[in-house]
Amino acid sequence: MASTAVRPVRIIVAKVGLDGHDRGVKVVARALRDAGYEVIYTGLRQTPEMVVDAALQEDAQVIGLSIHSGAHMTLFPAVVAELKRRKATDIVVFGGGIIPDDDIATLKKQGVAEIFTPGTPLQDIVGWLRKRFPDGGG
């Protein structure tokens, strides 16, 4: 087996919160797949504990969260806190949803690496990941 120079970046893509609006998260998942990433889609209504558990078992380097219920200030920091508790703060967390600028600033301070708001081109998300993982797959 030829060992490949590219290592696949594995990304957990999860919907946190109680709402079921998964159009955006699915479009993003497909775009990441098409960019060559391995996406582990964990579906709807994931608690922070479930998201982090999946990330650890799947050996993911990245967690992408989507939320539309307005509970991002509760749930995003909860994911970061859970990563801390499980000693896995090297895992990069990004998120998407209708999130005000003030909240984005606060979330970034709390350890969320990036937030993408509605209307962000998919290529921007892919571009951000490539920059973050220059020698990663995709």
Which 19-38 residues touch other proteins, going by CB under 8 A? 19-23, 26-27, 29-38
Interaction of residue 93 with other proteins, rule CB under 8 A: no
Strand 92-96 versus strand 38-46 pairing type: unpaired
Interaction of residue 81 with other proteins, rule CB under 8 A: no
Interaction of residue 131 with other proteins, rule CB under 8 A: no
Measured CA to CA, the distance from residue 47 to residue 79 in angstroms comes to: 8
CB of 60 to other proteins, least distance (A): 9
How distant, in Å, are the alpha carbons of 116, 122, 123, 124 from that of 14?
15, 17, 19, 19
CB of 13 to other proteins, least distance (A): 8
Interaction of residue 58 with other proteins, rule CB under 8 A: yes
**Alpha carbons within 13 A on the beta-carbon side of 108:** 11
Q: Is the sign of the CA dihedral 124, 134, 103, 81 positive or negative?
A: positive
Our CB check for other proteins shows the closer of 108 and 121 to be: 121
What the block records as the tokens of 114 is 């990036």
> Which of residues 110, 116, 122, 131 is near other proteins by CB under 8 A?
122
Interaction of residue 127 with other proteins, rule CB under 8 A: no
